[in-house]
Amino acid sequence: MKNGVSAHTPRKPVSECVSGVLISDCSVLVEKRRADDDADPGLVLLPGGHVEAGESLDQALKREMQEELGVRVEKVAPIRVRYYTASNGERQRIHYLRIKDWKGKIRSNEAESVYWESDISHLSDAIERKIVLKLLSQVSRI
């Protein structure tokens, strides 16, 4: 300790987050974040958001997809979990969930735009590209 200040800066807490993966006709639904977003502005990412206190992962994903995309998620399956640090320094544990069934008309309520992307190289995050490529390879074998 120096002058009553710890030499170690406390690590920021980790925020629990969910991300939904929707696949249709060899494309994945992505969102282009607004340029004025405080975290990851302008990046092309899978849609999702923060888990609120008392929510299960499924509940959080259903709420986020309703808020952001206007769709009702019916059936999901977990894919993987990873740690991520957003551009604003927020530490996140992202739970990726495959959305197997949903209802409604997709619209962009929060992002700059939401669209089906067939060229996976356009996703901004390398791990998300790997997740999507793996799912697409499984879907194409069915």
Mean pLDDT, the chain, whole residue set? 91
With respect to residue 1, please indicate whether it lies within any of the assigned structural domains.
no
With respect to residue 8, please indicate whether it lies within any of the assigned structural domains.
no
With respect to residue 6, please indicate whether it lies within any of the assigned structural domains.
no
With respect to residue 69, please indicate whether it lies within any of the assigned structural domains.
yes
Query: Which domain range does residue 86 map to?
Result: 14-141
List pLDDT tens digits, range 52-71: 999 999 999 999 999 999 99
Task: Count up the domains in the chain and report the number.
Answer: 1
With respect to residue 97, please indicate whether it lies within any of the assigned structural domains.
yes
- CATH number of the domain within which 122 lies: 3.90.79.10
- Does residue 8 register a pLDDT over 80? no
On whether the CB atoms of residues 71 and 114 are closer than 8 A, the answer is: no
With respect to residue 9, please indicate whether it lies within any of the assigned structural domains.
no
List pLDDT tens digits, range 25-45: 999 999 999 999 999 999 999
Torsion angle of the four alpha carbons 43, 46, 48, 50, in this order, in degrees rounded to the nearest 10 = -60
List pLDDT tens digits, range 75-123: 999 999 999 999 999 999 999 999 999 999 999 999 999 999 999 999 9
